[in-house]
Chains A and B, each alone.
Chain A
Amino acid sequence: MAQYFDIDDILAEDELVPAVFKEAANGVGIFDSSDDTNRVEAGSKAELPFWLASELHLRQAVSINVPLVSIKSKLLIISDDFLMCCFSSVYMVFLNVRTREEIEADAAHVDLRKRCPYFYELGCKLAHLIDDRILSDKNIGPVLFVAFQTRYKDVLVKAHTSALSVTAKNLTLLTREETKLYETAQSSTAAFKKWKMGGPRFQKAYVLGRKRKPTE
């Protein structure tokens, strides 16, 4: 239950995932703007926030799409661009094949924040949700793990040794989790350096500095 109030968790669940409606739904025409009527037909695709999609998935009202990677991955790679034009929202932005290939090539420089700032958290939740399907994609977990492992090394080295103004470029590539780690390391190293510089050991309490005007 600690996650209920966690801001990062709430924001992570707000990310959009593509889903296919298995049944028609009334009153939610906002998802499918091509129609004038206020309903969504069965079989239509829409991008829902994760909290909504997972609840509906458990009630069997939608099915969440994850691209198949196993056998057809080669074909998918080649025709990836073509398919991207046809189904603009089918491929989950942060798990599509291109991202995976990029991660395998050089995980440290993939711009995960642009794709999805809550990469790891959302990936964990999706892995829980989708592992009951027949063609389930068991590759989400290892992909996340490998990506984190390689990026972590980078983050570690940079965080502890860099000066304050350097590597602004790398910071924009990190997800929220990694940024948190980075910032904790930075702050503790900075505090240590500041202490080493010296400075007054005693600081005057703030309340003492405020003088009251003497009343006549």
Chain B
Amino acid sequence: MAGNSDPHGSAFSAAEMEFLAEDELVEIVPNMRMDPINLICGDFGPFRPQIATQVPLWLAVALKKRGKCTIRPPEWMSVDKLTQLLEAERDTERVFQPLPFHYVEISRLLFDHARDDIPDIYMVKSLIEDIKDVRFHKIGTGLETISGRTNAVKLSNLSAMEVNIVRPFLAGALQTFYKLHNPEMVPESERRGSRRPQGADRGARRTLKPR
């Protein structure tokens, strides 16, 4: 569970990330008629046959299971868009492409429950896998360049699952680097040469992925 007593494992479990992802809105096409429903997170409806509405993903999956709607895949989940994204990811070395924050979870949920609603599902699946692999590889190469003077690491456009996986490792590594590089360990003259003339206690700020 998030925030358990183990200081090095402060990550959500994958199931929890999926739970959080289910709050995203998707478009559905109902095939029944229903009055608006009032939930804590908002009011949805009224549902009329063949008229598309936006509902949270959990509600869409629940309706789909009962056969009351079809889910329209989000517009970033088409083969063309994904191919474009894949090309862009492969071309840029240090920048991540903007993707929906929960794209991994959303895509998995849709594959599991709405197979027939997604055109070219195998192509889409393999493209998303490739994008995921390329991004992971980029994270790895980017993290290799952390040096002792890094105070914080900035990774833009990372998705929820990826953040969750690297978070404990990265936090531990940064802490160890800090511990080994603090002013008593490294001789003073060396540090002074490498610091910018700013206020006290600000090492060089290092952004790994410029926006």
Beta-carbon contact of B180 and A188 below 8 Å: no
Asked if residues A156 and B173 are in contact (CB atoms below 8 Å), the reply is yes
- In residues 130-186 of chain A, which contact B (Cβ within 8 Å)? 131, 138, 140-142, 144-145, 148-149, 152-153, 156-157, 159-161, 177, 180-181, 184-185
Asked whether any CB of chain B lies closer than 8 Å to the CB of A195, the reply is yes
Chain B nearest Cβ from A196, distance in angstroms: 7
Looking at chain A, what size class is its interface with the partner chain? 35 or more
Map CB proximity to B onto A198-215 as digits: 1 under 8 Å, 0 otherwise: 100100000000000000
Q: Which residues of A contact B181 (CB under 8 A)?
A: 145
Q: Are B176 and A194 in contact (CB under 8 A)?
A: no
Query: B31-39, B161-169, B200-208: which one contacts chain A?
Result: B161-169
A50 at the interface (CB under 8 A from B): no
Residue pair B140, A156 in contact (C-beta under 8 Å): yes
Q: CA separation between A181 and B174, bound complex, in Å?
A: 11
**Is chain B's interface secondary structure helix, strand, loop, or mixed overall?**
helix
Closest Cβ neighbor of A195 among chain B residues: B14
Q: Does A120 contact B (CB under 8 A)?
A: yes
> Smallest distance from the beta carbon of A12 to chain B beta carbons, Å?
13
Shortest CB-to-CB span from B97 to chain A, Å, is 20
Tell which of B9, B146, B185 touches A145, judged by Cβ atoms closer than 8 Å.
B185
Contact in complex: B168, A188 (CB < 8 Å): yes
Question: Inside 8 A of A161's CB, which chain B residues have their CB?
Answer: 140
Q: Are the CB atoms of B179 and A191 closer together than 8 Å?
A: no
Question: Size of chain B's interface in residues, with CB distance under 8 A?
Answer: 35
CB distance from B183 to the nearest CB of A (A): 10
Q: Judge if A72 is at the interface, Cβ distance under 8 Å.
A: no
Closest to A159 in B: B169
Residue pair A141, B186 in contact (C-beta under 8 Å): yes
A44 beta carbon closer than 8 Å to chain B: no
Main secondary structure of the interface of A (DSSP, over half): helix
Does B50 touch A at the CB level, under 8 Å?
A: no
CB distance from A183 to the nearest CB of B (A): 8
- C-alpha spacing A188/B166, complex, angstroms: 8
Partner of B8, one of A120, A184, A192, A196: A184
Cross-chain contact B186 with A145 (CB below 8 angstroms): yes
Q: Which residues of the other chain, A, contact B144 by a CB distance below 8 angstroms?
A: 153, 156-157
Query: In whole Å, how far is A216's beta carbon from the nearest beta carbon of chain B?
Result: 42
For residue A189, CB closer than 8 A to chain B, the reply is yes
Q: Please tell me if A42 contacts chain B, counting CB pairs below 8 Å.
A: no
| CB-based nearest B residue for A148 | B180
Do the beta carbons of B148 and A145 come within 8 Å of each other?
A: yes
Q: How far is the CB of A14 from chain B (nearest CB, A)?
A: 20
A54 to B169, CA, bound (A): 32
CA distance A131 to B182 in the complex (A): 14
Q: Tell whether, in the assembled complex, residue A184 and residue B176 are in contact, meaning their CB atoms are under 8 Å apart.
A: no
Residue of A whose beta carbon sits closest to that of B180: A145
- Counting CB contacts under 8 A, is B48 at the interface? no
CA distance A142 to B182 in the complex (A): 11
Nearest chain B CB to A8 CB, angstrom units: 11
Complex Cα gap A201–B186 (Å): 51
- Chain A proximity mask over B178-203: 1 for CB below 8 Å, otherwise 0: 01110011110010000000000000
In Å, the complex CA distance between A159 and B143 comes to 13
Cβ B185 vs Cβ A188 within 8 A: no
Knowing A156-B169, A185-B168 are in contact, say whether A192-B136 is a contact too (CB < 8 A).
Answer: no
CB distance from A42 to the nearest CB of B (A): 31
Q: Give the contacting residue for B147; candidates A149, A156, A160; CB below 8 A.
A: A149
* Sample (15) of A-B pairs whose CB atoms are under 8 Å apart: A120-B179, A127-B184, A141-B186, A148-B176, A152-B146, A156-B143, A156-B169, A159-B169, A161-B140, A181-B8, A185-B166, A185-B169, A188-B9, A188-B164, A198-B112
9 smallest A-B Cβ distances: which pairs? Answer: A141-B185, A195-B14, A185-B169, A184-B168, A145-B180, A188-B165, A184-B8, A181-B172, A138-B187
